[in-house]
Amino acid sequence: MTLDIDTWIQVAAFVGGGLAMGFGAIGAAIGEGFTASEANLAISRTPKISGDIFKNMLVGQAIAESAAIFALVVAMILLFTDFSGQSILMVSVLLAAGLSMGFGAIGSGIGSGFPAGEACVGMSRQPAMSGQLTTNMLIGSAVCQTPSIFALVISFILLFSDFSGLPIAPTWAAILGTGFAVGLAAIGSGLGGGLVAQTSCEGMARQPTSASTVTNIMLLAQAVTQTPAIYGILIAFILLFKGFTPTASLPAAMALLAAGLCMGFGAIGPGIGIGNTGRSAVRWIARNKESTADLTRIMLVGQAVCESTAIYSLVVALVLIFVI
């Protein structure tokens, strides 16, 4: 049995679509489940404002859902676009588009659920703060979504760019690496950003007087949390646009694939760790506003140390791309 190029491209499109939606559904479902469980807790505490809490739960869940909707869109495009008549390189392009969006939606989906749940609990604790809590939740969840948006951007670039003029080897490996780099790197940052936003909602409800400080420090901590995802998209752009000299050598191709895997996996841990540090800092700044300066300093020092392993991964990935 011989299979022509169009058949392989169709196979890759369907497998990519399955991977995108399968992995992409994990995060949002967990995050929304967490939100709903916290909302139940909140309503049992303060049944009087159950309507407000219910509305807030739905708004928060809608944001967490967006990561999964991105995955659905990419999966639909993979299923219903006609990719026939293109080079065999499209096999790796379509797989990478699916992997990037599938992995990329996990962290943001889980992460966005945390602030939404905590905002519901906060409303039951301080009904007077409901409006501010919803606003803070929206800001925090929006930042959590950025890693999944990075993944969506890379998926769209992969799906709608013309790769016909490029050499098949080693570009196929670079493109697969792109998918892994941006997709896996988004997991840690999405999750970490959610941890920070969660305690900012908690702190705001406990100490309404420190609301503005808490929002500011949350944004600072979330910005640091996003850095591993930014390293991921940086490596993805380098792999996509550097342009590699044609070579049939297997080591040259594997080096590019390894660069993507290295940066992708390497960004997961630091993203979660940085988020965890920011989470405690924001929680205690809310309770102990006088120590804001001390806490911000130690948070940034702690986050910088967490960042180091992401930087090692970045260095190894760059060595794999440019030195080897």
Partner 1 sequence: MAIEGTHLVQAAAFLGAGLSMGLGAIGPGVGEGLVGSKACEAIGKNPGEAGLLTRTMLVGQAVSESTGIYALVIALLLLFVV
- DSSP string across 205-239: HH-GGGHHHHHHHHHHHHHHHHHHHHHHHHHHHHH
| Shortest reach from residue 312's CB to partner 1, in Å | 5
**Is the distance from CB of 298 to CB of 281 less than 8 angstroms?**
yes
Binding range to partner 1, per CB under 8 A, among 12-20, 85-93, 137-145, 306-314 = 306-314
The reply to whether 126 sits near partner 1 by the rule CB under 8 A is no
The reply to whether 276 sits near partner 1 by the rule CB under 8 A is yes
Helix, strand, or coil (residue 2): coil
For residues 122 and 248, what is the distance between their CA atoms, to the nearest angstrom?
59
Of 107, 271, 318, 322, the one binding partner 1 (CB under 8 A) is 271
The reply to whether 280 sits near partner 1 by the rule CB under 8 A is yes
Closer to partner 1 by Cβ: residue 24 or 271: 271
The reply to whether 134 sits near partner 1 by the rule CB under 8 A is no
The reply to whether 322 sits near partner 1 by the rule CB under 8 A is no
Of 20, 151, 204, 320, the one binding partner 1 (CB under 8 A) is 320
For residues 259 and 298, what is the distance between their CA atoms, to the nearest angstrom?
32
Closer to partner 1 by Cβ: residue 1 or 323: 323
The reply to whether 306 sits near partner 1 by the rule CB under 8 A is yes
Among all chains, which residue has been given the structure tokens 């959590």? Answer: 144
Closer to partner 1 by Cβ: residue 71 or 320: 320
Closer to partner 1 by Cβ: residue 57 or 299: 299
Of 4, 211, 261, 322, the one binding partner 1 (CB under 8 A) is 261
Closer to partner 1 by Cβ: residue 66 or 296: 296
The closest of 137, 279, 150, 267 to 220, measured between CA atoms, is 279
* Site map (CB under 8 A) of partner 1, residues 175-214, x = contact: -------------x---x----------------------
**Is the distance from CB of 228 to CB of 188 less than 8 angstroms?**
yes
The pair of three-digit structure tokens given for residue 180, joined into one six-digit string: 């892994």
Binding range to partner 1, per CB under 8 A, among 49-57, 58-66, 102-110, 254-262 = 254-262
The closest of 147, 148, 154, 156 to 179, measured between CA atoms, is 154
Where does the chain show beta strands of DSSP type E? none
The reply to whether 319 sits near partner 1 by the rule CB under 8 A is yes
| Shortest reach from residue 277's CB to partner 1, in Å | 3
**Is the distance from CB of 171 to CB of 244 less than 8 angstroms?**
yes
| Number of neighbours of residue 56 by Cβ within 10 angstroms | 25
The closest of 64, 133, 59, 107 to 226, measured between CA atoms, is 107
| Shortest reach from residue 207's CB to partner 1, in Å | 12
The reply to whether 31 sits near partner 1 by the rule CB under 8 A is no
For residues 248 and 212, what is the distance between their CA atoms, to the nearest angstrom?
58
The reply to whether 245 sits near partner 1 by the rule CB under 8 A is no
CB under 8 Å to 133, separation ≥6 — which residues? Answer: 56, 119, 122, 123, 126, 201, 204, 205
Binding site for partner 1 (CB under 8 A): 188, 192, 248-251, 253-255, 257-277, 279-281, 283-285, 287-288, 290-291, 294-295, 298-299, 301-303, 305-306, 308-310, 312-313, 316-317, 319-320, 323-324
